Amino acid sequence: MRVVSLLPSATETLFALGLDSEIVGVSHECDYPAQARTKRVVIHSRIPHGTPPADVDRMVRDFTGRGESLYEVDAAALEELKPDLVITQDLCHVCAASPEDLATTLSRFEIRPEVLCLNPQDLTDVWRDILWIGEETARGPAAEALVKQIGTRLGALEQQLEWVRPADRPRVALLEWLQPFYVGGHWVPEMIHRAGGQDVFGTARTPSFRIKPEDVIDAAPEVLLVACCGYDSEQARQECQCLPLPKAWDDIPALRDNRVYALEASSYFSRPGPRLVTGIEALAKVFHPTVQVSIEAEHAATPMRSAAARTASATSA
Q: Could you tell me if 131 and 275 are in contact, meaning their C-beta atoms sit under 8 angstroms apart?
A: no
Per-residue pLDDT at 67:
66
Per-residue pLDDT at 96:
58
Look at residue 118 and give its three-state secondary structure: strand
Which of 130, 63, 52, 133 lies closest to 93 in space, CA to CA? 63
Q: Which residues on neighbouring strands pair with residue 260, listed in sequence order?
A: 224
Average pLDDT for residues 158-175, to the nearest whole number? 97
Q: Could you tell me if 97 and 6 are in contact, meaning their C-beta atoms sit under 8 angstroms apart?
A: yes
Average pLDDT for residues 5-14, to the nearest whole number? 96
Q: Could you tell me if 311 and 252 are in contact, meaning their C-beta atoms sit under 8 angstroms apart?
A: no
- At residue 92 the predicted structure's pLDDT band, cuts being 50, 70 and 90, is low
Question: Within this chain, do residues 220 and 107 fall inside the same structural domain, yes or no?
Answer: no
Q: Where are the beta strands (DSSP E) in the chain?
A: 3-5, 23-27, 40-45, 71-73, 85-89, 114-118, 171-178, 181-183, 198-199, 209-211, 223-226, 260-263, 301-303
**How many domains would you assign to the chain?**
2
Distance CA 229, CA 302 (A): 16
Question: Within this chain, do residues 173 and 280 fall inside the same structural domain, yes or no?
Answer: yes
- At residue 72 the predicted structure's pLDDT band, cuts being 50, 70 and 90, is confident
Question: Within this chain, do residues 244 and 296 fall inside the same structural domain, yes or no?
Answer: yes
- At residue 286 the predicted structure's pLDDT band, cuts being 50, 70 and 90, is very high
pLDDT digits (tens, 9 = 90+) for 256-282: 999 999 999 999 999 999 999 999 999
Which residue range is the domain that position 190 belongs to?
168-316
Q: Could you tell me if 125 and 97 are in contact, meaning their C-beta atoms sit under 8 angstroms apart?
A: no
Question: In a 10 Å sphere around its CB, with 0-12 CB exposed, 13-18 middle and 19+ buried, how is residue 79 labelled?
Answer: middle
Q: Could you tell me if 265 and 227 are in contact, meaning their C-beta atoms sit under 8 angstroms apart?
A: yes
Question: Within this chain, do residues 134 and 239 fall inside the same structural domain, yes or no?
Answer: no
Distance CA 166, CA 21 (A): 48
Residue 311 pLDDT > 50, yes or no? Answer: no
What backbone torsions phi and psi does residue 47 show, to the nearest 5 degrees?
-95, 120
Handedness of CA 285, 289, 292, 297 (dihedral sign): positive
Please state, in angstroms and as integers, the Cα–Cα distance from residue 268 to each residue in 80, 275, 282, following that order.
33, 5, 9
Distance CA 196, CA 113 (A): 43
Average pLDDT for residues 202-225, to the nearest whole number? 96
- At residue 252 the predicted structure's pLDDT band, cuts being 50, 70 and 90, is very high
Average pLDDT for residues 70-82, to the nearest whole number? 90
> CATH number, domain at 276?
3.40.50.1980
Question: Is 155 a domain residue?
Answer: no
Residue 187 pLDDT > 90, yes or no? Answer: yes
Question: Is 19 a domain residue?
Answer: yes
Per-residue pLDDT at 5:
96
Q: Which residues on neighbouring strands pair with residue 41, listed in sequence order?
A: 26
pTM above 0.85, yes or no: yes
Question: Within this chain, do residues 292 and 192 fall inside the same structural domain, yes or no?
Answer: yes
